[in-house]
Amino acid sequence: MGSLDGKTALVFGVANDHSISWGIAQALAREGAKLGFSYAGPNLEKRVRPLAESLGATFVEQCDVGSDAEVAQVFARAKEAFGTFDILVHGIAFASREDLAGRFVDTSREGFLLAHNISVYSLVALTRAALPLFPAGGGAVLTLTYYGAEKVVPKYNVMGVAKASLEATMRYLASDLGPQGVRVNAVSAGPIRTLAASGISGFRDYQRSFAGAAPLRRNVTIEDVGNAAAFLCSDAARAITGEVVYVDSGYNIMGMQTAEES
């Protein structure tokens, strides 16, 4: 028996089989959930549809979260396909590449607003649109954050500020929706080599120093994140809301980086 038998999940943020949202989708499916997927734009359908089908999912719909019309449409289609659903996974972030290099102080107004629109406001928009489709007993919303929300990580820049806002947004949503039984949580994942990490110069060195400094002395995988996500979206986590759960080999607890490698 799976911990998510009888539940349905709508997953946003799969771009390919390296995506953290794909690790989450696989874990949710393993625990018995029925799945639906949404992808950002036309060129991603050919990647996402085969992945979805490999988990028995037929609901695969485009939604650029920068568009109110596309957000409304994907939830209208979800209502037709599922009636109600139980779990919303938000695995979306975007900033202009030029803002993930150099100094934060040079962030433009446009770059600041883009990062916050796609990476943060989208959680509000998707959660609000999901509310009428959650069953009477409640639902679960999960988003993905990163340590750069709390401490300065060189070059993470405007995304760090957006993740701080995302974490606060997650808590305000949890407060609003708790009375309806809707839980809202975040997983803070260690660095994983996904599409969003590719092309970040020095990412490999960064992962190596992370693994050297973290108590568990290893990097994390999308399977690790998937397992924590499946727990947070299940009834086993029924009293947990508004939390940031770290899936980071313990990196965040350290106050000084001693061991480099071991």
In the list ligand 0WE, ligand NAD, none, the entry touching 200 (Cβ below 5 to 8 angstroms by class) is ligand 0WE
x/- string (CB under 6 A) for ligand 0WE, residues 168-197?
-----------------------x----xx
| Residue type at 185 in one-letter notation | N
Which residues touch 60 (CB under 8 Å, ≥6 apart)?
36, 37, 38, 39, 45, 48, 49, 52
Distance (Å, rounded) from C-alpha 190 to C-alpha 221? 9
- Report yes or no: 173 and 241 within 8 Å, Cβ to Cβ: no
Among 91, 111, 139, 160, binds ligand NAD (CB under 6 A): 91
Q: Does 246 bind ligand 0WE (CB under 6 A)?
A: no
In the list ligand 0WE, ligand NAD, none, the entry touching 40 (Cβ below 5 to 8 angstroms by class) is ligand NAD
In the list ligand NAD, ligand 0WE, none, the entry touching 184 (Cβ below 5 to 8 angstroms by class) is none
- Report yes or no: 137 and 180 within 8 Å, Cβ to Cβ: no
Among positions 89-148, residues that touch ligand 0WE (CB under 6 A) are: 93-95, 97, 100, 146
Backbone region of residue 93 per phi and psi (left: phi > 0; alpha: psi in -120 to 50; beta: other values): beta
Element (H, E) at 8: strand 8-12
Distance (Å, rounded) from C-alpha 101 to C-alpha 153? 11
Concerning whether 121 is annotated as a catalytic residue, the answer is no
Q: State in angstroms the smallest separation of the CB of 151 from ligand NAD.
A: 13
x/- string (CB under 6 A) for ligand NAD, residues 107-146?
-----------x-------------------------xxx
Residues that bind ligand 0WE (CB under 6 A): 93-95, 97, 100, 146, 153, 155-156, 159, 191, 196-197, 199-200
